[in-house]
Amino acid sequence: PAQPLCGFSNAVVQILRLHGVEDYRAHDVLQDPDLRQGIKDYSNWPTIPQVYLNGEFVGGCDILLQMHQNGDLVEELKKLGIRSALLDAEKDQEKK
How do residues 17-59 score in pLDDT, each as one tens digit? 999 999 899 999 989 999 999 999 999 999 999 999 999 999 9
Work out the number of other CB atoms within 10 angstroms of the CB of residue 11.
Answer: 18
> Cα(71)–Cα(14) distance, rounded to whole angstroms?
16
The pTM (predicted TM-score) of the whole model is 0.86
pLDDT of residue 2: 87
Residue 38 · residue 45 · CB < 8 Å: no
Domains delineated in the chain: 7-90 (3.40.30.10)
Helix axes 61-70, 7-18, angle to 10 degrees: 30
61 is in an annotated binding site: no
